[in-house]
Structures are given as C-alpha cells and as structure tokens.
C-alpha cells in the first residue's frame, strides 16, 4: 500500500516541530551526563586526626520524629572527637521526641536538647530550627553541620566531610545520600523523581557549577561557621521550602566555594513511607522554585518535558506512524531520537542503582520499572512549580503562600 502523500507531509511537519522542541534539550542533557565519568568519586569514611578536635557543631532539627531520630542520634554518637556538640532543636513535638533525645543525652554529653521559639510569620520551620541551633552553637567550632532526623550517619562521616572540605577548599559542602526504599510504590516512583534532579543538575561531584545552578542537600549540609556569620545564619533562606539550595546558591553568588558530592558510603536516609508520602512531601520541593528565577523554573519544565516525559508519549505514536508506512527522513530522526532518550533513561537506572539500599526492599523489581514513572514525575514537577505549599511537615502556612506570591 502506497503511503498517503498528504499524511506524510503532515507527519513530517509534526516530527519537525517535535525535533525543534527536543533537540536543544537533548544537547543540554548530553553535556550534563558527559560530566559523569570525570566526577569526583564517592567520599569514603575517614578517621579523624587531632587537628579536627572539636571542630564541628551538629544541628538536628526535629518535629515529631520519635520514630526516626533514634538511628540518626545513634549514628552521630559513633562520630568521635571531631564533633564538639550535637544540638537537637525541637519544634515543640508532642510525640515523645524530647524524651527520647533526653535519654540519649544522658549517655552522650555532647547531645543537648533545645526548643525553638514560636515560629515567626516570615519563616519556614526548618530554617528557623537551624537558625536557633546556629545561634546556640559554640563559637569555637569551625564548622556547622545540619543533619536531618531521618538520616543514618555512618561511622567516619563527619571526619570525611570536614577533611574533604578543608583539603579541597570548600566553604559549604553537602552530600547525596543512599536512599533506603522498602515498598513497591516508592521503589517505582522515587527513582523517577530523583532522575528529574540528575537531568537538571548532572551527577553529584560534577565539578564547577554556576551559582544559579548549584545543587545542595540539607539532609547533610556542612558550612563554615564564619560564612554563616557573614550571611546572618540561615535567615537569607527563611522563606524557602528548599532552604538548602537557596542558601547554597546565595553563598556561591557571594564567592563561596560550594560542593555537592556523592556520600553514598557515608549517609543513608529513609525519607518517606510509601509512594503517596513521597509524592506529597518530596514532590512539593523538587521544583526548587524558591531558589530559582521564573525563567529558570519554566526552562527546567521545558527541559524535563522534552527529554524525560515526552519520549514515553511520542515513541509509540512515532512507531505506529512508521508501521503504517508513513515514512519520511524527519520521522526517522524523531523516532531514533526518542528511542535513544528512552534507552539512555534505562541505562541511567542501572547507573543510579548504587544510590539505593535495597536490603529492606519488599519488591526490588519495581525499581527497574521506574522509567515508566517518568511522565508522572515530570507532571509532579509541573504541579509543584505552579503551586505554593500551604503546609509542610505538620505545619500550616496560611497567609504565608499569598505573601510569597505577591
């Protein structure tokens, strides 16, 4: 059967529009992924030396974390004399978190429980707790380390962080962790959400990055105390729901050397329980709009739609057209491009497998199907980009959203 000439022309025109939309994004993606082979390898645990004695004050913000903060404090307890103090700043938990912290403090004199004051109307809860800890930290510490309550610090974490920062001249460094996943839904969804970060910012440890594209992770966030003093502590990120990235980009813009490194051997994290909580909680901040301009936000949405979302829609349509014998050179290029993007995504799933701890996974097979969640992940970034959170980690911010949008 001869192909319909008008159909071929129409399909070629459509394929040409697809290529015009996707090709610039593909070039950008390849440039970012090519940084992978030359990136700094994952940090390894280190033993402290005497020059690190008492150099670090650790701040752990908590709000109803009784079920999670225990392993975090246990891991911090395994750090040695490089840690001067461990300040747990509790935001008036009502689930027994303070009592748990007190029981740990009775065994480790470095642990101290603080309670932050009532949340000011122009602050988000997490940076407010960190600010409280910073203001109560010992001035003799050279470094401030923010650690989230859902992390599992491994032995040698703090020594490795500080040694790396001081030998490589970093003023601020944070780590990409190893994620602990358990249930099928999160094993399917979470890697697709993580991939939106890798596509936008490249792999952790990828060298010099412009200040406006700096990446950071507040789950393990080390900063020179002198830099925090200069920046007014965490106040510059007080209205941000991604305070880690906001603060890191502001520091980089002021000339600080900022690093985002692979900490898979130093830090594990159990962020959320199940796919629904992952979608709701992590998805609200993945757009990073609080740390980006409007142009950057919408540019990232275009980029993700072009290279991560659309290929799963376009490939079956392009293949169907090809099978109907509606062939053209432009169609062949578009088909090859989208097939290549999907193959790249599948290959990246193998590459990121080392970023996951599957020891408690109940359905590891779901991880390998996570590329099929890419379209959903891009949609989640779109939702987050167009909405402002009104609640976060149990707190409500009524009126706060309106003031942020003005």
Where does the pLDDT of residue 1 fall: very low under 50, low under 70, confident under 90, or very high at 90 and above? Answer: very low
pLDDT exceeds 80 at position 366: yes
Do 199 and 371 meet the contact criterion of CB atoms below 8 Å apart?
no
Where does the pLDDT of residue 405 fall: very low under 50, low under 70, confident under 90, or very high at 90 and above? Answer: very low
pLDDT exceeds 50 at position 402: no
Residue 125 has a pLDDT of: 93
Question: Which 3 state secondary structure label does DSSP give 152?
Answer: strand
Residue 325 has a pLDDT of: 60
Where does the pLDDT of residue 380 fall: very low under 50, low under 70, confident under 90, or very high at 90 and above? Answer: very high
Residue 14 has a pLDDT of: 78
Would you say the C-alpha torsion 52, 53, 56, 58 has a positive or negative sign?
positive
Q: Interior CA angle at 271 toward 132 and 108, to 5°? A: 50
Nearest in space to 303 (alpha carbons), one of 187, 163, 196 = 196
Do 108 and 86 meet the contact criterion of CB atoms below 8 Å apart?
yes
The CATH superfamily of 50-187+202-279 is: Spore Coat Polysaccharide Biosynthesis Protein SpsA; Chain A (3.90.550.10)
Residue 392 has a pLDDT of: 62
Q: How would you write 109-151 as a 3-class SS string? A: CCEEEEECCCCCCCCCHHHHHHHHHHHCCCCCCCEEEEECCCE
The C-alpha atoms of residue 376 and residue 387 are separated, in whole angstroms, by 17
The C-alpha atoms of residue 153 and residue 151 are separated, in whole angstroms, by 6
What is the location of CATH 3.90.550.10 in the chain? 50-187+202-279
Q: What is the pTM of this model?
A: 0.92
For residues 278-282, average pLDDT = 91
Where does the pLDDT of residue 114 fall: very low under 50, low under 70, confident under 90, or very high at 90 and above? Answer: very high
Q: Work out the number of other CB atoms within 10 angstroms of the CB of residue 81.
A: 15
- The share of the chain scoring above pLDDT 70, in percent, equals 92
pLDDT digits (tens, 9 = 90+) for 17-73: 999 999 999 999 999 999 888 889 999 999 999 999 999 999 999 999 999 999 999
pLDDT exceeds 60 at position 403: no
Where does the pLDDT of residue 285 fall: very low under 50, low under 70, confident under 90, or very high at 90 and above? Answer: confident
pLDDT digits (tens, 9 = 90+) for 77-99: 999 999 999 999 999 999 999 99
The C-alpha atoms of residue 367 and residue 379 are separated, in whole angstroms, by 19
- The share of the chain scoring above pLDDT 90, in percent, equals 80
Q: Share the mean pLDDT of the chain.
A: 91
E strands, 14-161, are: 56-62, 83-90, 111-115, 143-147, 151-153
pLDDT exceeds 90 at position 8: no
For residues 285-309, average pLDDT = 94
For residues 332-344, average pLDDT = 95
pLDDT digits (tens, 9 = 90+) for 233-252: 999 999 999 999 999 999 99
Count Cβ neighbours within 10 Å for each residue of 239-253 and write b for 16 or more, e otherwise: bbbbbbbbbbbbbbe
Instruction: Give the position of tokens 């393990």.
Output: 220
Where does the pLDDT of residue 100 fall: very low under 50, low under 70, confident under 90, or very high at 90 and above? Answer: very high
Residue 400 has a pLDDT of: 54
């Amino acid at each position: 059967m001869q192909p319909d000439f008008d159909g071929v022309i129409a399909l070629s025109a459509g394929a040409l529009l697809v290529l015009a939309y996707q090709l610039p994004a593909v070039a950008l993606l390849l440039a970012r992924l090519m940084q992978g082979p030359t990136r700094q390898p994952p940090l390894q645990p280190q033993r402290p030396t005497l020059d690190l004695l008492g150099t670090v004050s650790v701040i752990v913000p908590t709000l109803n974390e009784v079920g999670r903060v225990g392993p975090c404090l246990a891991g911090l307890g395994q750090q040695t004399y490089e840690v001067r103090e461990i300040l747990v700043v509790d935001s008036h938990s009502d689930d027994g978190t303070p009592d748990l912290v007190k029981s740990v403090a009775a065994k480790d004199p470095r642990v101290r429980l603080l309670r932050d004051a009532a949340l000011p109307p122009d602050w988000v809860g997490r940076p407010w707790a960190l600010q409280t800890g910073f203001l109560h930290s010992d001035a003799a510490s050279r470094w401030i380390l923010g650690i989230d309550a859902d992390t599992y610090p491994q032995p040698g974490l703090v020594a490795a962080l500080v040694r790396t920062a001081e030998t490589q001249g970093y003023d601020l460094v944070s780590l990409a962790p190893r994620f602990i996943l358990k249930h099928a839904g999160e094993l399917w969804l979470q890697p697709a959400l993580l991939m939106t970060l890798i596509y936008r910012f490249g792999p952790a440890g990828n060298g010099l990055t412009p200040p406006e594209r700096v990446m950071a992770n507040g789950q393990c966030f080390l900063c020179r105390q002198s830099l925090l003093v200069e920046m007014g502590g965490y106040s510059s990120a007080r209205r941000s729901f991604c305070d880690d990235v906001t603060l890191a980009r502001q520091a980089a813009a002021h000339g600080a050397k900022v690093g985002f490194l692979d900490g898979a051997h130093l830090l594990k994290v159990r962020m959320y329980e199940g796919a629904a909580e992952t979608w709701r909680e992590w998805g609200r901040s993945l757009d990073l709009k609080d740390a980006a301009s409007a142009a950057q936000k919408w540019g990232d949405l275009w980029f993700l739609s072009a290279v991560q979302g659309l290929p799963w829609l376009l490939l079956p349509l392009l293949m169907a057209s090809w099978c109907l014998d509606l062939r053209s050179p432009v169609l062949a290029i578009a088909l090859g491009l989208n097939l290549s993007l999907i193959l790249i995504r599948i290959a990246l799933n193998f590459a990121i497998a080392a970023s996951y701890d599957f020891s408690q996974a109940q359905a590891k097979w779901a991880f390998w199907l996570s590329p099929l969640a890419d379209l959903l992940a891009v949609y989640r970034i779109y939702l987050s980009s167009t909405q402002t959170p009104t609640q976060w980690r149990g707190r409500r911010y009524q009126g706060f959203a309106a003031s942020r949008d003005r």
